[in-house]
Amino acid sequence: MTYLHTALARSAQPPGPDIPAGHQVTPWPGKPHPVPPNLDRLLRLSLGGNRLRPAASAGALHPVNAHLLLGPDNRLPPGRYAYDPVRHRLLARGTVSADAPPGAVAVLTVTARRTVSHYGHRAWPLLLLDTGHAAAALALAGAPQWCPDADITLLAAAAGLPPGWRGAEPEHPLAAVRLTPGPADVLDRWAAYAPGAPPLATSLTPPPVLREMWHVLSSLPGTTTWRPAAAPALPDTTLSSRRSARPPFPGVPARTLLEQVLATARRAAPVPWHLLTARHPGAAARPAAPAAPADLAARAAGQSLLQHVGALLVAHGCPDDAPSAQVRQDHVLAGHAVGLAQAVAAHLGLASRPIGSWQHGPCGPPHIIHALALGVRTQHTEGTDRP
């Protein structure tokens, strides 16, 4: 089943017409609380904001949600809370007993409708990449550990997601992030508490492509392995000001700078990486010459912006028929790696933009997972945004 959806997402078949994206933030009915001081900076510099947020997202649709599991040492009654990134508030989803595990953990879920609304069948890998970007943003803000491959049944139980959504838009868990240190069995201990109530119901009808996405997301295998976040230490000014730049930024960065960005990505994700640089204007491509970013524009959902960037960092190597667990892990890790690499690029003064939707084609490496366009501005361009 995953093979069919990965192959379809990478095919030339265009997505269908847009559908309503639904709520920007899941309408949980809980009482809002201020973010505790020990988590304020971390959430503000990672997930907080309206359409422009520190974590990159395909189409600025932000399908990733964060459910915080707060122990008795976080200034709020121990319990489960949904983070509202627009208001920078926590919505109480149910308190638990005082013997809850200490510390704070975020379970990252996705609301598939938001991404499917524009990308249709191509949303499947984008949901995974966006989860990795959200985890990277939390890591850059100080989260010490994360789990990109946790068992989804365990994640759902730990987050207290309802077993039945009663007409509400469902969320599907994909990863967990430790926001503060805590016990090794933290997810198992939270899973022992009863689930909470569902969010408010929606009047939107799910089209077949969305129902298929729900089915895939609810059947992913996983093993729960915590790993260090391994994020570079960067100043808050970088974290609060990084943006995904609008091309053109055709200048090729110095090799030493590109190597720093590449090294960051390689440390974060053990997948093959390829670094492509733009050809000098007017230079003809030799038959044996490596591909340039512009050559891959047709494979990147026809994004002609690749004709106006200096370099392209590409993660690849996950074939269509890879096991479901590999597809999940490779894409989540690649999103995490590109999130970290983009922050390093911003710190180095480079313009950058993640490129998430990839199809098969003759140029460049096979089975592209994710990419980061890089460059140096050679002329003033008004306006930047996050993707």
Q: Any idea which residue has 């710190």 for tokens? A: 347
Contacts of 254 (CB under 8 A, 6+ apart): none
**Distances from the Cα of 369 to the Cαs of 8, 137, 271, 313, in angstroms?**
14, 19, 9, 11
- Residue-level pLDDT at 288: 53
For residues 114 and 124, give the distance between their C-alpha atoms in angstroms, rounded to a whole number.
12
- Residue-level pLDDT at 296: 95
Fill in the amino acid letter for 182. Answer: G
List of the chain residues with pLDDT < 70: 1, 3, 280-289, 379-387
Give the pTM: 0.95
Residue 122's Cβ-count burial label (10 Å; 0-12, 13-18, 19+) is: buried
DSSP assignments along 296-324, one per residue? GTTTTTT-GGGGGBSEEEEEE---TTS-H
According to CATH, the superfamily of the domain at 2-228 is NADH Oxidase (3.40.109.10)
| 169: number of Cβ within 10 Å | 22
Q: Please, are residues 40 and 75 in contact by the beta-carbon 8 Å criterion?
A: no
- Residue-level pLDDT at 241: 87
For residues 263 and 357, give the distance between their C-alpha atoms in angstroms, rounded to a whole number.
23
- Residue-level pLDDT at 384: 40
- Residue-level pLDDT at 387: 35
- Residue-level pLDDT at 283: 52
Q: Where are the domains of the chain?
A: 2-228, 242-375
Give the relative orientation of helices 123-140 and 208-217 as an angle to the nearest 10 degrees: 50
| Fold matches, 2-228 and 242-375 | yes
- Residue-level pLDDT at 380: 52
- Residue-level pLDDT at 1: 59
Q: What value does the mean pLDDT of the chain take? A: 93
Fold observed for domain 242-375:
NADH Oxidase (3.40.109)
